[in-house]
Amino acid sequence: MRARLGLAALAGGFSTAALPPADAWPLGFVAFTLFLLLLDGVRGRLWPGFWTGWAFGLGQFAAGLYWIGVAFFVDAAAFGALAVPSVLGLSAGLAIFTGLVGVVQARAAPQGPGRVLFLAVAWIVAEWLRGHILTGFPWNLIGASALAVPALAQGAAIVGTYGMGLLAVAVFAAPALLLIRGQEDRRPALMTGGLILAVLLGTGVWGTLRLETHQTATVPGVKLRLVQAAIDQKEKWRGGMKAQHLRTHLDLTRGPGFATVTDVIWPETAIGYYPQQEAEIREVLARAVPPGGLLITGAPRVEWTPPPAGSPPGTEPQPRVFNSVMAIDDQARILGVYDKAHLVPFGEYVPLRELNPFPKLTAGSIDFTPGPGPATLALPGLPPVSPLICYEAIFPGEVTAGAATILRPGFLLNVTNDGWFGLTAGPHQHFASARLRSIEEGLPLVRAANNGISAIVDPLGRVIALLELDRRGVLDGPLPTALPPTLYARVGDGSVAVVGLIVLVLAFLLRVPRRRN
């Protein structure tokens, strides 16, 4: 049993290597073929199936999320001791989802080659649940492995990243079809392998044609400047440095080439001031705005809630703080505001604060308040924009406000600060997720990071311009135009649900009947 669990954990680690930034996709074959064979060895057994799946997930998440521990060393004295337990605890909790895959596969998968397709469906159902339960955490979805082959990644425009994950697991586990005993009928295995290969090749051919057909076009008259200040996270909220950080952003913005840009983008919480309440700060920010253009910046926002009726005399209003994006014009007017809706547990709020002894990792004792959800801002001089703050960009199907027919945005704007995670895989994984949202929605992506990867990406996921991790500077470039709404933009996860049901039916049609003694 220990050997099986050790092999499962090792296979899980290999599966992470198939994802960005390593993009070592051949290891995906090793990971999922071994995983399937290990589950074959516990067929019909509930708990061995669960623990095999759980061990695979533990290896996968520990290898893929190690970088979260780096955030605890921003304030090492207060949080450093929690780094390893937190990463292992999170990995163990997320591994419950892969444990459920193991249970379902061990107890319900059909005999024979159909079990490869069954595993793919079970895996994607578990990933979808992981992306939605308890606010969701769809990080490192296995479908991201398709980014290593841009033509294959185009399939996300039809079935999203979850759907590409279904194909990835089927392909990666397919070598198990070669392990057929001499007396067994090989035809079901050949049919299953042929089906998987046909879908893979068909997706690749369609994606190649899509990339060749849609050349990158740009919005006339728009030139963006993205500012990446690369401020060390240990200094970002240090007392007395707010003014210096603001000057850094202003100096970078107004550097060479400023006269040629139309709009400026600053990253998440680029400034520590409250522009809505501080008119003098808005006047300073207006200096970063090109004539007739906009500065779009991340900044905190506060609202004061009146005391409830019946409160004792002298009860003061209570603040509600938001992590926001604001658009400011050259007259120091705020023309649009978006409040982050999907907050980071323990980063921006403490779940069950009344019962939870752990503080936030971020500065301040007050929890952030979530906004109402995805929104489209109509701003002068730019196409409508769908703002996404930090990890809001990792959620498939949740990056625009409603159906594609209601004021469809012209681009996705992701402002973030990956400086918490240092020079690790985390910022690269985050950027990969954001690129997949572009392909899914058929929308260009503009991404500004304090430290991380700032980039302009066209609606097919092609990187037009990029500023590397840990580079201070600016990135000037055009704004690509949007494509018509993709199938995934129109129906969301409904497309992968239909495909999943078809694959599940095929899994049982391709089963090998049990032999009677």
Q: Give catalytic residue positions.
A: 268, 340, 390
Distance CA 336, CA 326 (A): 6
What is the distance between the alpha carbons of residues 487 and 478, in angstroms, rounded to a whole number? 26
Pair 107, 44: CB distance under 8 Å: yes
Measured between alpha carbons, how far is 121 from 174 in angstroms, rounded to an integer? Answer: 14
Q: Alpha-carbon distance 253 to 244, whole Å?
A: 14
Q: Which two tokens stand for residue 265?
A: 């983008």
DSSP single-letter state for residue 81: G
Distance (Å, rounded) from C-alpha 178 to C-alpha 193?
9
Cα gap 89→61, rounded to integer Å? 10
419: which DSSP letter?
G
User: Cα(136)–Cα(467) distance, rounded to whole angstroms?
Assistant: 29
3-state secondary structure of 475: strand
147 within 8 A of 164, measured Cβ to Cβ: no
For the chain, helix, strand, coil in percent to 5 are: 45, 15, 40
Q: Residue 368 — φ and ψ, nearest 5°?
A: -70, 155
Question: Would you say the C-alpha torsion 489, 494, 496, 499 has a positive or negative sign?
Answer: negative
**Helix (H) / strand (E) containing 501:** helix 494-509
Which residue in the block uniquely carries the two structure tokens 């980063």? 347
Q: Under a CB-based contact definition with an 8 Å cutoff, are residues 410 and 459 in contact?
A: no
